[in-house]
Chain A
């Protein structure tokens, strides 16, 4: 059962197609990451899912029901946190949540209860009586997340929830999302930073220029991305010999000389990498270090995506 399913979801702005025939499938309870560079169509997709933007074409199916023209039902089932957001001035933290509780039509008792619970959840209990504008960026982000939870939605759409946060706040946010995932909520998180999502999500979709070019469980996607990794060898022996051995192995692409050794393009998975190392050592190559070049994962992935789209 999919919590969210889109069918040929398309959004055009004039001639520009921001989202193109998107077929997204997010299983119930998944922590789904939507990855893509800036301008890929992540925000447009999330806004359409939140009922804030009308698709030019296509359908949104939420928990098996096709969202109707009104979007009001959609909004009741979805909690949305935009990528950029402001806070109302002259408003206390609890009033902020109380306001959204009113917007979602909660009765007064439930509202008070939810406000307290959510402030505890996002760890803002102490800031209850503080003015919203005095909160730090991380606190605001958590408050905004809390606002999206006021009506206890089963689906959460979070647009770049960690952007602009310091590492500590980032970790806090990640823990919070894990906690929500453990509560059984379906969460869609967008980001342009792969590593950020890799630590959090169980499945990801890669979006590029409006196309969904890959979607599935994280490991699978990661393997696809890793196929293009670069291995670096520090050698004591002759690089030429190592090069010959390497070329004889499968999955090895270009090999070129590097400082104190070799660098080689490697398309295989970790097993294949271990095999390569074993073969090198077996043939007498003296390997000091055998490591993956920690190229920015994002870059690698972008290399991959660009190849596919073009």
Chain B
């Protein structure tokens, strides 16, 4: 054992292995020597009482705010029928998450805006540049040191935030997501601060510029969104909110697919701060959960940080700032491409989870048919339209037979939207379904969805409609569709729908005088439950879409 391996020795000694030695050298140079700037900055920053006094103050503020929130929720939800504890948990969580975000937004510029300009003002910069330290290392050191302090503020609050788990209503995963968003915002703002510091050369100017940036980031997306809504008189495009850290956080903390009505504090918060304007929530007629907004915001921040970092590295150089060599340009481009590839790869990998295109605006339901509201409160009513618009219990204007006026293709398209709505959104489960088999009953049954409504007689769906419906569903519903003549065929010996499958029962198509069609639909899931409701379907913008429903008729 003690004998050295002769082959290895020889290989290492061979001059031909110079490349190997170079590689070894490189690895050796990667030894974890702390960045001198980090050591220096931390030594002076953490010295004395100031750093700890600030930390204590921040924690006290967060603690106080949590207590106030707790009292508020306790008072306001006394008469609520919802269970109290998860509400408190969610309220505390959302409150803390947004407080943290605000703290990060206002502390980070203050900490980073002096990074480079402070050295210049104190006349210590020349001596630093005269050392062989690379500009990138100086910049990274500054960033790590100042962000380290911000991270300390963020992570010191985590144990306190975990109080929410006592109350429940929040999954650890959501806490982690919120933490990730806040951390990313901190990094981005840190790079922005350092960039301004390197660019403007004066701490005061850099501070002002950084805070203006923060304010713009917080306010502009909403201003643009509201203005666009007012001017265009319709739902503004969702991407307007993309740069907002507030919306990103809202989309991260709101459960992605909570069912029709946002319930609980999280859902409502998501509603008010972005979800309500169809950010965090799936919209009418959009099939499946929408990719949450922060999936776009964070890569945007990442890209911005990377670009500003590369610019700052040039700004920090004492000589040859903009005399770029091809090699340096290639390196920068490679870095950006690698980042783009990472983001793109992430999207590809998670594509299956978010089948609908996320950034399109939800289609507008024909206003006169569904939402009757003055334009001024349009945004608010749109929020409710995100969930399905309530439709008064219909006294059907038509007998089922009159649906014959619709072509088989139309009928299939109408049924397809209903099935999709049931499959993706109204399945009564919290998570997106992964059913292997989707049973469809060959005969219509109005009564299955809502026995209390007037209903027509069952009718067997024509082959043409069935074939076309299967074809339409195959486009985006991953489950295998199987027609059954008798509901029992989908049941197992215990009378529950087979595991991993669901049974959907459709009603007749009832045309109303205003052109809206009413279609009943219900879904049965094994032992898990079932539910049904009557949907309003209208021809909007060239396609049949679900525009409203009568509300859940029943759940089991």
Contact = CB atoms under 8 A, between A and B. Distances in A.
Given A82-B123, A88-B124, A75 B36 contact: no
Given A99-B40, A102-B36, A103-B36, A50 B130 contact: yes
Contacts of A256: none
A82 to B, nearest CB: 5
Interface in A254-291: none
Given A80-B127, A86-B124, A71 B39 contact: no
B40, B44, B127, B129 pick with most chain A CB within 10 angstroms? B127
B25 interface: no
Interface in A76-109: 76, 78, 80-82, 84-91, 95, 99-100, 102-105
Given A90-B48, A99-B40, A80 B130 contact: yes
Interface in B465-481: none
Contacts of B318: 51-54
A69 B320 contact: yes
Interface in A51-76: 51-54, 69, 71-72, 75-76
B122 interface: yes
B44, B48, B126, B133 pick with most chain A CB within 10 angstroms? B126
Contacts of A47: 126
Contacts of A86: 122-124
Interface of A is mostly: loop
A54 B320 contact: yes
A30 to B, nearest CB: 21
Interface in B121-156: 122-124, 126-134
Nearest to A54: B319
A54 B208 CA distance: 31
Interface in B12-66: 33-34, 36, 39-40, 43-45, 47-48
Contacts of B45: 90
A27 B419 CA distance: 90
Contacts of B320: 54, 69
Given A91-B40, A99-B36, 18 more contacts: A50-B130, A53-B318, A69-B320, A75-B131, A81-B127, A82-B123, A84-B123, A85-B126, A86-B123, A87-B124, A88-B40, A89-B44, A95-B43, A99-B39, A99-B40, A103-B36, A144-B127, A147-B127
Contacts of A88: 40, 44, 122, 124
A104 B131 CA distance: 6
18 contacts: A47-B126, A51-B130, A52-B126, A52-B129, A54-B319, A85-B123, A85-B124, A85-B127, A86-B124, A88-B40, A88-B124, A90-B45, A91-B40, A100-B127, A100-B131, A102-B39, A103-B132, A105-B132
Nearest to B121: A86
A84 B48 CA distance: 28
Interface of B: 33-34, 36, 39-40, 43-45, 47-48, 122-124, 126-134, 318-320
A81 B122 CA distance: 15
Contact of A71 (B40, B43, B123, B319): B319
Interface residues of A, number: 32
Nearest to B45: A90
Nearest to A101: B36
A102 to B, nearest CB: 3
Nearest to B34: A102
A99 B130 CA distance: 13
Nearest to A78: B130
Contacts of A82: 123, 126-127, 130
Contacts of B134: 72
Contacts of A90: 43-45, 47-48
A102 B128 CA distance: 11
Give 5 closest A-B pairs by Cβ, nearest first: A102-B36, A90-B44, A103-B131, A86-B123, A54-B319
B40 A75 contact: no
Contact of B132 (A53, A76, A84, A147): A76
B142 to A, nearest CB: 13
A304 B459 CA distance: 116
B132 A91 contact: no
Interface of A: 47, 50-54, 69, 71-72, 75-76, 78, 80-82, 84-91, 95, 99-100, 102-105, 144, 147
A76 B132 CA distance: 6
A81 B123 CA distance: 12
Contacts of A78: 130
A147 B126 CA distance: 12
A52 B124 contact: no
Contacts of B127: 80-82, 85, 100, 144, 147
Contacts of A80: 126-127, 130
A3 B149 CA distance: 45
A306 B33 CA distance: 53
Given A52-B319, A85-B126, A103-B36, A91 B131 contact: no
B327 to A, nearest CB: 11
B556 to A, nearest CB: 67
A80, A89, A95, A99 pick with most chain B CB within 10 angstroms? A99
Contact of B43 (A87, A91, A105): A91
A86 B36 CA distance: 18
B140 to A, nearest CB: 14
A100 B34 CA distance: 13
Contacts of B122: 86-89
A11 to B, nearest CB: 11
B133 A103 contact: yes
A85, A102, A104 pick with most chain B CB within 10 angstroms? A102
A76, A87, A88 pick with most chain B CB within 10 angstroms? A88
A78 B131 CA distance: 9
Contacts of A91: 40, 43-44
A102 B132 CA distance: 10
Contacts of B40: 88, 91, 95, 99, 102
B319 A103 contact: no
B344 to A, nearest CB: 35
Nearest to A92: B43
A75 B132 contact: yes
Contacts of A69: 320
Contacts of B47: 90
A90 B48 CA distance: 9
A52 B43 contact: no
A15 B381 CA distance: 66
Contacts of B126: 47, 52, 80, 82, 85
Contacts of A76: 132
Contacts of A99: 36, 39-40
A82 B131 CA distance: 13
B129 A104 contact: no
A270 B47 CA distance: 62
B466 to A, nearest CB: 74
A47 B129 CA distance: 11
A71 B48 CA distance: 38
A89 B128 CA distance: 15
